[in-house]
Structure 1
Amino acid sequence: MNTSDAIAPAVESILDSAREREGGDERLSIEARSFPEAVAATEREDRVPVISEVKPTSPTTEGVREDDPVELAREMVAGGATALSVLTEPEHFGGSTETLERVREVVDVPVLRKDFILREDQFDVVEADLILLIARFVDDLEELVAAATDRGFQPLVEVHTAEELEEAIDAGADIVGINNRDLGKLEVDLATFERVAAKAPEDVLLIAESGISSGEDVRRMREAGADALLIGTAIMDGDVRENTREFTTT
């Protein structure tokens, strides 16, 4: 875990909760829906691959979205989402593993479990197609990438710097999310993706995360090499079907 830089108090609180959260009792074995294939299918339709995020709330947004997350997920898929991201962190994001289970049962697109996972046993609480690992916060990234892959998950390794990108590649990651939000300061800068993506190997599938709120942002991230975009707040704020459609057809 890279703790050389200060971490925002809100993130420290999330990590404290994550450390205390129990893992599963039995090792899972997943038959995952292929995210790379879903991205390729979307691009063949001349649309932008978007991961729409079911996010009731977060420390960086105001208010709570109280709609049934399953209905939100259905609307996002109807709007053209390539995949869905479902928060399972309960204390700070209003998520749950039960929500992910319910969503994955009713959609046919890949579903990402978005959480702060720190230990291998925390994989074994719910089935998902992709699973998030944040390079900055885990002690042995290579070990966790291997453990996730062995279970059938597709690990999405999130990075914020070129150094973390190199660590992710060395750990065996082939799906990498570049987070425009600095989790140390909670500041967003779209230039982060441009800077870090320039260092990525061509065979890595790149996802731009955070701060994407307009068609102009979508075009900017795509021009910088984003294979897909993870969009939460800008889709959750309003009609999720129409918002998803607008981003995928930009």
Structure 2
Amino acid sequence: MNASEGYAPAIESILAAAREREGGDERVSVDARSLPAALSTADADGRVPVIAEIKPTSPTTDGRRDADPVALAEAMVEGGAAALSVLTEPAHFGGSPDALRDVRAAVDVPVLRKDFVLEEAQLDTVEADAVLLIVRFLDDLDGMIEAARERGFQPLVEVHTAAELDRALAAGAELVGVNNRDLARLDVDLSTFEQVAAEAPADVTLIAESGIGSSEDARRMRRAGADGLLVGSAIMDGDPEANTRRLTTAEVEA
């Protein structure tokens, strides 16, 4: 991880907290539900493949939502979500491993663990179907991908630039998330996905992340090649079931 990159203060604080967090007491072994298959099934059913995110708060949102994570998860699935993402970062996002554990036990769709995982031991915090690995913050990306797969996780490898995409592909990434948010400055630009996706091979599953707030945003990302959309705030703000349904039916309404 390049400590001299000059991240936004919020990101520096998140990373400092992540470096201090320990992993689990025992190595986990996961019988994962397939995230790519869930996205493909949603697409075949005529739904926009949405990964709906349970995110109580974040450095870029106001306030905090303390609703029951299981109730939120069930509402999102009822709204057509193909999969779920659960924040497990406690200090800045209000998440917890317990919330993910409870959600995964309550639903039958794949559940992604969303966190700033920096060390192999941190993979053993909680079982999930997929785990986020952020290229920008990992020196040993190859080793972390291998370690995740050894435990049964599907690694969702997050990139922001074409150079990071190249690094992810060289490390064997098959699930790639393109974050429209620049984690150095926290700016969001939907054209980021369009530019990076144009460089991706056809056999990679591409997830568009961040900044997707409307049906038109969803259609724009799908036109650019997104196999799935990871959406947090636009679903959490208001009625999660209705918001999820609005995005999963975006192509039907077009």
TM-score after normalising by structure 1: 0.99
Question: Counterparts of 2:132 and 2:2 in 1: how far apart (Å)?
Answer: 17
Q: Give the structure 1 partner of residue 48 of structure 2.
A: 48
Q: Give the structure 2 partner of residue 175 of structure 1.
A: 175
1:150-198 CA distances to partner (integer Å, 9 max, x unpaired)? 1100000000000000100111110000000000000000000001000
Q: Secondary structure at the match of 1:181?
A: coil
Identical-pair percentage: 66
1:3-28 CA distances to partner (integer Å, 9 max, x unpaired)? 45320010000000000000112111
Task: Tell me the CA shift for residue 69 of structure 1.
Answer: 1.1
1:66 and 2:66 aligned: yes
1:24 and 2:46 aligned: no
Q: Give the structure 2 partner of residue 152 of structure 1.
A: 152
Question: Counterparts of 1:213 and 1:39 in 2: how far apart (Å)?
Answer: 19
TM-score after normalising by structure 2: 0.97
| Structure 2 unpaired stretches of 5+ | none
1:125-157 CA distances to partner (integer Å, 9 max, x unpaired)? 100000000000011001000110111000000
1:223 and 2:223 aligned: yes
1:83 and 2:83 aligned: yes
Q: CA RMSD in A?
A: 0.7
Letter in 2 for 1:230: L
1:93-151 CA distances to partner (integer Å, 9 max, x unpaired)? 00000000000000000000000000000000100000000000011001000110111
1:13 and 2:13 aligned: yes
Q: Secondary structure at the match of 2:72?
A: helix
Q: Which moved more, 1:36-45 or 1:181-190?
A: 36-45
Task: Tell me the CA shift for residue 87 of structure 1.
Answer: 0.2
Task: Tell me the CA shift for residue 221 of structure 1.
Answer: 0.4
Letter in 2 for 1:130: A
Q: Give the structure 2 partner of residue 165 of structure 1.
A: 165
| Structure 1 unpaired stretches of 5+ | none
Letter in 2 for 1:6: G
Question: Counterparts of 1:240 and 1:78 in 2: how far apart (Å)?
Answer: 10
Q: Give the structure 2 partner of residue 232 of structure 1.
A: 232
Task: Tell me the CA shift for residue 2 of structure 1.
Answer: 3.5
Question: Counterparts of 1:202 and 1:248 in 2: how far apart (Å)?
Answer: 23
Runs of 4+ displaced beyond 6 Å: none
Pairing of 1:87-166 with structure 2 (within 5 A): 87-166=87-166
Task: Tell me the CA shift for residue 224 of structure 1.
Answer: 0.5
Q: Give the structure 2 partner of residue 187 of structure 1.
A: 187
